[in-house]
């Protein structure tokens, strides 16, 4: 907790000075704060019976890391509805700059992978400069997504699966206010997608990677960690029926406590970020690509339509 308080203090002045929720353009920066290599926070997947500010861990309600059987059954049913439309299945990303860097690299890897369904078209719709609060507020975002779909030779009517990763730029509110604000924004984005993509069946959410090295106020710790609770809240809303539309579940959980890591061995080193400490470097991008690839090839709701029939 002392480490967490130190991180919060280090970023408070920068965060408070931000007067807009739009992520500023990246500029040349001093080196990332490599000494801030751990917060002492426990990844949601490793919390067990422990709590964070009164809240249980786990990716799904009840402190577990997998959907309960009833909700998984609904996810599998939605997965079976994913079929080629005019010969294509579109997997689209929606999000901010980090998501774009990660998903565009994932697209390149997926396009080269002989195990992937040849009817699948992967499109990166995530964009620099659009945080969770202004995706819906600025029509230019969706106009750009439409242009990218068109350039890929597909349309909104063929989008059936979305990977959504977002954050709020300049977030400095204390938990749980920060998580609840992001949760509300994510819900609005999903509602928008529900109407823009009438055949949307599945939405996979990921929260942020480790933000402790950041020298900017864009989305440092503990906001990056707290975003996991925002994602879980959205999923809980879908389970309860408060949120309508496509089935919503976790994509890969990306957060790990810096060099302290997590139980599966994942670490996020200072080499995994650019000089601003926020955006992923080439090695950081590759770690996320690996997690996305593993997820889509192994998750029960994803592998059926992601992999070719020759690789069940």
Residue 270 falls inside a structural domain: yes
CA 165 to chain centre: 3
Q: For residue range 72-111, list pLDDT tens digits in order.
A: 999 999 999 999 999 999 999 999 999 999 999 999 999 9
Percent of the chain with pLDDT over 70: 89
Tell me how crowded residue 9 is: count the other CB atoms within 10 A of its CB: 9
Rg (CA), the chain: 18
Confidence grade of residue 59 (pLDDT, cut at 50, 70, 90): very high
- The three-class DSSP label of residue 241 is coil
pLDDT at 137: 87
Question: pTM of the predicted model, to two decimals?
Answer: 0.90
109 close to 293: Cβ distance less than 8 angstroms: yes
Q: Average pLDDT for residues 133-149, to the nearest whole number?
A: 96
pLDDT at 312: 57
Residue 62 falls inside a structural domain: yes
pLDDT at 14: 36
Residue 256 falls inside a structural domain: yes
Residue 162 falls inside a structural domain: yes
What b/e readout covers 171-208, taking b as 16+ CB neighbours within 10 angstroms? bbeebbebbebbbebbbebbebbeeebebbbbbbbbbb
Tell me how crowded residue 143 is: count the other CB atoms within 10 A of its CB: 10
Q: For residue range 26-56, list pLDDT tens digits in order.
A: 443 459 999 999 999 999 999 999 999 999 9
Residue 23 falls inside a structural domain: no
Tell me how crowded residue 13 is: count the other CB atoms within 10 A of its CB: 10
The CATH code of the domain that includes 112 is 3.40.50.1110
Domain that holds residue 124: 2-15+31-306
* Nearest residue to 273 via CA among 102, 108, 131, 93: 102
pLDDT at residue 1 is higher than 60: no
Which single residue is written with the structure tokens 């996020």?
268
Query: What total number of domains does the chain contain?
Result: 1
Least confident of 21-25, 232-236, 295-299: 21-25
Residue 21 falls inside a structural domain: no
Which of residues 224 and 3 earns the better pLDDT score? 224
Q: Average pLDDT for residues 145-162, to the nearest whole number?
A: 99
Residue 165 falls inside a structural domain: yes
Torsion angles phi and psi, residue 273, rounded to 5: -125, 160
Roughly what angle, to the nearest 10 degrees, separates helices 97-112 and 282-298? 60
Residue 24 falls inside a structural domain: no
């Amino acid at each position: 907790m002392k480490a967490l308080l130190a991180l919060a203090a280090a970023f408070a002045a920068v965060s408070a000075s931000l007067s807009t929720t739009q992520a500023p353009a990246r500029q040349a920066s001093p080196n990332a704060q490599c000494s801030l290599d751990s917060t002492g926070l426990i990844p949601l997947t490793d919390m067990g019976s422990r709590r964070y500010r009164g809240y249980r861990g786990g990716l799904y309600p009840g402190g577990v890391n997998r959907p309960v059987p009833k909700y998984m059954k609904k996810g599998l049913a939605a997965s079976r509805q994913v079929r080629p439309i005019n010969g294509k299945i579109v997997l689209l990303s929606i999000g901010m700059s980090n998501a774009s860097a990660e998903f565009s690299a994932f697209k390149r890897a997926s396009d080269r992978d002989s195990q992937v369904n040849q009817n699948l078209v992967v499109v990166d719709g995530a964009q620099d400069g659009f945080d969770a609060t202004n995706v819906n507020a600025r029509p230019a975002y969706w106009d750009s997504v439409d242009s990218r779909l068109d350039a890929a030779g597909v349309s909104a009517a063929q989008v059936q699966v979305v990977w959504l990763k977002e954050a709020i730029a300049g977030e400095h509110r204390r938990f749980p206010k920060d998580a609840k604000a992001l949760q509300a924004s994510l819900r609005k984005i999903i509602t928008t997608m529900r109407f823009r993509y009438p055949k949307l069946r599945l939405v996979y959410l990921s929260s942020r990677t480790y933000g402790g090295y950041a020298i900017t106020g864009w989305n440092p710790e503990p906001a990056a960690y707290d975003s996991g609770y925002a994602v879980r809240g959205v999923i809980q809303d879908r389970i309860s029926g408060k949120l309508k539309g496509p089935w919503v579940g976790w994509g890969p959980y990306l957060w790990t406590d810096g060099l302290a890591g997590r139980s599966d061995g994942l670490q996020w080193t200072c080499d995994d970020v650019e000089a601003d400490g926020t955006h992923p470097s080439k090695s950081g991008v590759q770690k996320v690509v690996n997690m996305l690839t593993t997820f889509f090839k192994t998750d029960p709701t994803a592998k059926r339509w992601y992999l070719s029939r020759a690789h069940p």
